[in-house]
């Protein structure tokens, strides 16, 4: 019964919508590969110090997530609903690992910086914005991912939620791209917000051009995706509560 409902849901997706899903998921995967390329995948070929196992595992897990989402988009386009359903359980497992491992990496970030010799107190705003930005990203991912699982038989809801879940955790890759020499001096937080906003505007433009309206789920996703980040980065991170949490980690 569940397969029949899913099959009907997948068949109801328009060619344009499935192509949009492939395009967005493919672009996110490209950004992830660009961001993690030198710092993760090609690192053994350089003279750089080896990454901590937790950071290495985090990068691999994140990459597997984006590869999985891209494959799912292709399966939707080709209407391979049985394989999509089977692959969905794998993506579900990866998503759970993303949640757990991201939480571990976030909580270990400050102790790891201190162990590496960083003076956290003198740059507490910088470290606070990183940690609170990661917390906002994780909270967004949990919300979108959970709703996507609940609404997995409703493609008009499931697909946007999966897109927003993936956008939620894109910043680690974007931060590494902003670290390239050609982007020297850019505000990484603000630049990442601009990229996320561009993805959101792409969704809005597609929906409006094709239906003359924007789905409530899309507006909700934009509000959560950007709102959580703005609150975390520009309000909580530079507050007594934000600083107190950071200091509790060391």
pLDDT of 179 reads 85
Mean pLDDT of 87-108: 94
User: How confident is the prediction for the chain on average, in pLDDT?
Assistant: 88
Mean pLDDT, to the nearest integer, of 16-35? 90
The predicted pLDDT at position 116 comes to: 84
Residue with tokens 């049985």: 82
Q: How confident is the model at residue 3 (pLDDT cuts 50, 70, 90)?
A: low
| Torsion from C-alpha of 207, 213, 217, 223, nearest 10 degrees | 90
pLDDT the model gives residue 139:
97
CB 166 within 8 A of CB 25: yes
pLDDT greater than 50 at residue 11: no
**pLDDT at position 129:** 94
pTM equals 0.89
Q: What percent of the chain has pLDDT over 90?
A: 62
- pLDDT confidence tier of residue 24, bands split at 50, 70 and 90: very high
Structural contact between residues 35 and 176, judged by C-beta atoms closer than 8 angstroms: yes
- If we measure between CA atoms, which residue out of 171, 203, 163 comes closest to residue 190? 171
For 181-239, how does the pLDDT look when each residue is reduced to its tens digit (9 = 90+)?
898 888 998 999 999 999 999 999 998 888 889 999 999 999 999 999 999 999 999 99
Average pLDDT over residues 90-110: 94
């Amino acid at each position: 019964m569940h397969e029949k409902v899913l099959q009907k849901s997948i068949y109801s997706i328009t060619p344009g919508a499935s192509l949009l899903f492939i395009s967005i998921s493919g672009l996110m995967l490209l950004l992830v590969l660009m961001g993690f390329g030198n710092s993760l995948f090609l690192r053994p070929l350089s003279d750089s110090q080896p990454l901590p196992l937790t950071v290495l595992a985090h990068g691999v897990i994140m990459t597997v997530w984006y590869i999985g989402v891209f494959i799912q988009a292709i399966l939707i386009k080709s209407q391979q609903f049985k394989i999509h359903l089977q692959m969905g359980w794998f993506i579900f497992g990866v998503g759970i690992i993303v949640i757990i491992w991201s939480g571990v990496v976030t909580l270990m970030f400050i102790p790891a910086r201190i162990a590496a010799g960083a003076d956290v107190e003198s740059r507490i705003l910088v470290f606070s914005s990183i940690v609170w930005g990661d917390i906002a990203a994780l909270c967004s991912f949990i919300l979108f991912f959970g709703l996507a699982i609940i609404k997995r038989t409703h493609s008009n809801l499931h697909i946007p939620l999966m897109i927003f879940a993936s956008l939620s955790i894109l910043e680690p890759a974007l931060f590494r791209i902003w670290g390239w020499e050609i982007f020297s001096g850019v505000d990484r937080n603000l630049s990442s917000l601009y990229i996320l906003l561009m993805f959101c505007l792409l969704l809005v433009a597609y929906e409006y051009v094709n239906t003359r309206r924007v789905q409530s789920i899309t507006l909700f996703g934009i509000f959560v995706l950007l709102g959580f980040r703005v609150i975390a980065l520009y309000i909580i991170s530079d507050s007594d509560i934000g600083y107190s949490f950071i200091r509790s980690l060391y």
